[in-house]
Chain A
Amino acid sequence: MGWFSGSRAPAEAARPPGLHSQALKALLGGLRPGSRHAVLDLGPPLAANVQFLSALSCRVRIADLHRSLCAESIESRRPEAVGALLERLLPLAPGERFDALLAWDVFDYMRPDQVSALVTRLAPACGPETPVLVLASTEREIPATPLRYRILDPENLTCEGPREPRRASPRHTQPDLVRMMPGFSVRRSVRLRRGLQEYLFIRGAGDEPARAGVAGASRGLSPRVPWFRRGPL
């Protein structure tokens, strides 16, 4: 169990090696010191991450989207019901705003229509330049359940969780993600270790890259894996 207090600064003790994330650094760097921020974490609850973000004066909202989706009935996960489903799983209060979104690898475990509906739903709650951190696997297979990404320091992560069993990876490309994320454009894209590609998306800003991405996506989503193999069962 992790204990944390909002008054403490992140520990700077020696850390084990992890993933060096420029996108995380940029995302956190955009949070102005001294003011309150709201961060939406689409991944599972991790005490260390809440501790870290709370020390940066962040109010952290945990969505645990994969677990929530898997707990739903197959009926409610049909494409035509995805809007109502997300409204129930991720209710937004009027005027609720987020200063940053942490998607981690959650999109690898959702159908493209679910990702699009989610992003469309979240876009009004994001101001201009709101950053979104997305990790996408470039490998053929991924763990059956999302890994847990623990923030070690402003630019380092570790990923934890069972690697077996495995399932087919959607292998989302940048154009795939741009197409699934209307209203957002890629600010930064870096290849990490362990077959991960990290993206920093920005709300609204950078129309030019967004257009380029959409144009690139016009050839459609990656055909390597059928769409019905990509999302939760």
Chain B
Amino acid sequence: MWNKREEEPIRSPAATPAAAAPTATGERREPAVIGASISIVGDVTGGEDLTILGKVEGKIDLPQHSVTIGQGGRVKADIFAKAVSVAGEVHGNLVASEQIVIRKTATMLGNLSAPRVGLEDGCCFRGSVEMETPAPKGRTAPAPGAPVAGGATPASPGAAAPKPEPAARP
């Protein structure tokens, strides 16, 4: 009773999570968060929304969910998602089936492809913008409840990361 506050789940104070997304069973769930001190090298897949405040290198594939790169988050990866919001730093190509938002605090080097794109004036962006509904190419949606960071391995100094596509391509 007196320690009620201690029973509350711990949340990162720097998190800027996306709105909770409904799961397959209809319940709303908070997005998974890769915290500011976490580094991941490898592919990230899953069945829930994701907020990245740390570092990710590789590929992020969440075709049914939203990916938010918070301020301070650093990503070197191609991202496939339903919606992507960038407030941190991204080197890679973004493909979204619904929308992409580049915030004014963002540094974005890569190509954007989505039916809707939002660019805040003042953002740092180098790359191309393509307004086409992306067609899934051989990718299947992961099973609901699949691990958020499936296949990911902790970053190590000698770890070889998959090389993202160059920032500019036709």
Contacts from A to B (Cβ < 8 Å) = 1-7, 38, 45-47, 50, 54, 59-64, 67-68, 89-93, 95-97, 148
Contact = CB atoms under 8 A, between A and B. Distances in A.
B22 interface: no
Contacts of B118: 1-4, 47
Contact of A59 (B102, B104, B125, B130): B130
Given A7-B115, A50-B119, 13 more contacts: A1-B121, A3-B118, A4-B131, A7-B131, A45-B123, A47-B120, A50-B117, A60-B129, A61-B127, A64-B126, A91-B166, A91-B168, A97-B170
Nearest to A1: B120
B116 A61 contact: no
A232 B12 CA distance: 41
Nearest to B123: A45
Given A1-B118, A1-B119, A68-B126, A6 B167 contact: no
Contact of B116 (A4, A63, A92): A4
A91 B132 CA distance: 23
Contacts of A93: 166, 168-170
B124 interface: yes
Interface residues of B, number: 25
Nearest to A64: B126
A62 B125 contact: yes
B170 A96 contact: yes
Interface of B: 101-102, 104, 115-121, 123-132, 166-170
Q: Which of A6, A54, A64 has the most CB of B within 10 A?
A: A6
A50 B116 CA distance: 11
A105 B167 CA distance: 24
Q: List the 8 closest A-B pairs by CB distance, nearest first.
A: A6-B131, A61-B128, A47-B119, A45-B125, A1-B120, A54-B131, A93-B169, A96-B170
Contacts of A47: 118-121
B109 to A, nearest CB: 10
A95 B127 CA distance: 17
A59 B166 contact: no
A42 to B, nearest CB: 11
Contacts of A2: 118-119, 121
A2 B129 CA distance: 14
B129 A54 contact: yes
A83 B67 CA distance: 37
Contacts of A1: 101, 104, 118-121
B137 to A, nearest CB: 18
B168 A90 contact: yes
Contacts of A95: 170
Given A1-B121, A50-B117, A93-B169, A62 B129 contact: yes
A11 to B, nearest CB: 16
Nearest to B126: A64
Contacts of B169: 93, 96
